[in-house]
Structure 1
């Protein structure tokens, strides 16, 4: 039996303003979170794997 490992990655973008005395800049930061499918969906997908 072959095991498939599926990973789901969630990318969250954060925008924040950098305000100085004479300027205002919007900068962006990205956080990536990856989880394995079995950790997320082991209960939800149990009936689909018959």
Structure 2
């Protein structure tokens, strides 16, 4: 279902830990989290993005 995410939604989800990602992704796909800021605020266990170019 990866094609159902927008680029902005994926950007918001990229900092989520492996443990919380499935639940957050489900909330995004269910329409409960729509905007980038809301997704980023929902991430509780932030994971650094060390691969960023």
* TM-score w.r.t. length of structure 1: 0.24
More relative contact order, 1 or 2 (CA 8 Å, 6+ apart): 2
Normalising by the residue count of structure 2, what TM-score does the alignment of the two structures yield? 0.23
- Whichever structure has more helix as a proportion of its residues is 2
Report which of the two has the higher share of strand: 1
Specify the structure having the higher radius of gyration (Cα).
1
